[in-house]
Chain A
Amino acid sequence: MHPIETRNITKIFTSGIFNKLEVRALDDVSLEVKKGEIFGLLGPNGAGKTTFIRILLGITYPTMGEAFLLEKPVSHYQLKTRIGYLPENHQFPRHMTGERILTYFGKLSGLDNHTLRNKCEELLHLVNMTKWKGVRIKKYSKGMLQRIGLAQAMINDPDVLFLDEPTDGVDPVGRKEIRDILKRLRDRGKTIFLNSHLLSEVELVSDRVAILKRGKVIRSGATTEFTKTSDEHEVKFDGSISDDLLNTLRSYNPALRLEGNVLTFTTADRVTINNIIDKLRKANISIESISKRKGTLEDTFIDLMNEDSAP
């Protein structure tokens, strides 16, 4: 069994006493996360990502389906000694200092004083917060809170780490640092589950991703599958293309599109590309640039979202 497994999780929230309003936050979600991988759950706000993590941690109960963490049903709260969690918009008790947060929640994770002391030092250093450890967190910026939150999530050296929007409010340098920390943890065999609506973040660090939309997994797979270079080519030119020329070009590639001064066509065949360029040059059209589009996860993501909302 994998460290994280869910089978047909459905969660329906009901609110309102008289006019019962039902929200299907998750709809038949079955996911597996393998040991030692960084898994990214992507989706726009309200897709159900946070709900999914909360169900895995036993904070929210599923309406239907089963969830397993480290080979046990999630209702076994003792297994959380091996879990770390950074909630989105976490609220630590405001009167505490950064260091006290680590020791308090470290003790609740079952650590003894000695281990805790060493671990605290190490993590404060890792997240660059040693200087601020004695300051009450109400004085912290969003980025600093996020760093302390991350340290808190790692205090018990967890085997499975859940991070809900971890780079929220963190500057670009901090984001890079967080990504590096996560990669190092993965290399030590830890399993990391990452929630984000920021696709570029997930793309850079995840081994596998799933895209959630209105509670449904609409696509999942290795990150490389999503980011594969496409065979779409773009030619920017100067001048105008006559209808005759356009027809000639279309004889090489029927799906070729012309929009203003940009020609777009998809092909894997080098001969076709060269033929098209030759014809353009012969017609005295000056070429500004030829580029091949890289299908980033973001494009895939946006495509998927659009695809699905089309009638």
Chain B
Amino acid sequence: MKSLTIILNTVYESITRLTLLFYLAFGTIILLVIAFGLRGLYDNGILIGISFFGNQIPVIDGIDPSGFIFMTTVGGSMSAILLLGVFATASIIPETLRKGTIDIYLSKPISRLELLLSKYMGAISAIGIALFYFMAGLFIIIGLKTGIWNTDVFPALGLIIVMFMCIQSMSTLVGVLFKNMGLVLVFVYLHIFLFSPFLRLRKELVGILTENAIVHRIFDGLYYALPQLSEMQENVSFLFAPAAVEEIIKFSYTPFLYSLISCSAMFLLAYIKFKRSDY
């Protein structure tokens, strides 16, 4: 009950703060572009291909061409989805921990775990709403335009939410440690756009510098300890890959599972720090 109150208020807060609306606006633009540029090509009522701003993708061997559209759109917007999503929620924990605010929260009959978890879930709900709008919008627009109702969008939505659960765990940990939105943004963006791609290619990149086994172990450790955002990003779009290209691109759940473990561990650390701190 109290958790729900906090979750709803966190969502409400991110809407009034406009950051979430910004996110929704971005989704709307993408949806409009697709609605404008996408057409189904029919021959005697049978779909023979799709056209996207004049580029035609024919149906070959009965393979559903909508997968390509989803792959391109979701894969192409992924960086923006992450960038804006992090921005929309980065302030939640630092704001909660501000002197004068945290005092009031902690004077209420609610445990520190419930408070932190509710704020966390509030952030995920806010992002979830924006993502649902975007993904369901894609599903409907592509369905209406081509007659293909590709239900892969829904597991894809779930997987993107898993990515945000990992990101929010990081935000929470950094937020609890430094109580500063700027630092949350710096850490999370660095991880998404630098560390994660680097760690993924660590064997090759570190290999250039050293053959030292211990160094390689350390980077392996980091790789598994932190959420594998780079792999997850890629695998979300792989979800839409038609069966015929499975040889080349194959969807895998493992980065999501590893990342969920890392996500729980980071939240746990954040909680331990929060529980033990004086405010």
Contacts and interface: CB of A to CB of B under 8 A. Distances in A.
B96 to A, nearest CB: 9
B220 interface: no
Interface in A140-156: 152
Interface in A74-114: 77-81, 83-85, 87-93, 95, 104-105, 107-110
Nearest to A110: B109
Nearest to A83: B107
A90 B106 contact: no
Nearest to B100: A91
A13 interface: yes
A59 B2 contact: no
Given A60-B278, A60-B279, A108-B6, A80 B101 contact: no
A152 B279 CA distance: 20
Interface stretch (B9-17, B75-83, B183-191, B239-247): B9-17
B98 interface: yes
26 contacts: A54-B103, A54-B279, A57-B103, A57-B106, A59-B102, A59-B107, A61-B278, A77-B111, A78-B109, A85-B104, A85-B107, A87-B103, A89-B100, A90-B100, A90-B103, A91-B100, A91-B101, A92-B104, A93-B9, A93-B13, A105-B108, A107-B2, A108-B5, A108-B105, A108-B108, A162-B107
A80 B108 contact: yes
Given A104-B9, A108-B6, A85 B103 contact: yes
Nearest to B98: A91
A58 to B, nearest CB: 7
Contacts of B278: 13, 54, 59-61
Nearest to A108: B108
A95 B106 contact: no
Nearest to A63: B278
A212 to B, nearest CB: 18
Nearest to A60: B278
Given A60-B279, A85-B107, A108-B6, 17 more contacts: A54-B103, A59-B103, A60-B278, A61-B276, A80-B108, A80-B109, A90-B103, A91-B99, A91-B100, A91-B101, A93-B101, A95-B13, A104-B5, A107-B5, A108-B105, A109-B109, A162-B107
B209 to A, nearest CB: 30
Task: For the complex of A and B, list the 3 residue pairs with the smallest distance between their C-beta atoms, beginning with the closest.
Answer: A91-B100, A85-B107, A87-B103
Contacts of B105: 108
Best-buried of B95, B102, B106 by chain A (most CB within 10 Å):
B106
B21 interface: no
B274 to A, nearest CB: 12
A152 B104 contact: yes
A278 B139 CA distance: 105
Nearest to B112: A77
B205 interface: no
A109 B106 CA distance: 11
Interface residues of B, number: 26
A231 B268 CA distance: 65
B267 to A, nearest CB: 20
A85 B13 CA distance: 23
B33 interface: no
A77 B111 CA distance: 6
A273 B130 CA distance: 84
Nearest to A84: B107
Contacts of B279: 54, 59-60
A87 B2 contact: no
Contacts of B59: none
B215 interface: no
Contacts of B108: 80, 105, 108-109
B17 A95 contact: yes
Contacts of B16: 95
Interface in B136-172: none
Given A95-B16, A107-B2, A80 B98 contact: no
A263 B101 CA distance: 54
B129 interface: no
B257 interface: no
Contacts of B101: 90-93
A54 B105 CA distance: 12
Nearest to B2: A108
- Which of B16, B108, B276 gathers most chain A CB within 10 Å? B108
B99 to A, nearest CB: 7
B11 to A, nearest CB: 12
Contacts of A61: 276, 278
A61 B112 CA distance: 13
A108 B107 CA distance: 10
A73 B184 CA distance: 35
B201 interface: no
Contacts of B13: 93, 95
A144 B219 CA distance: 55
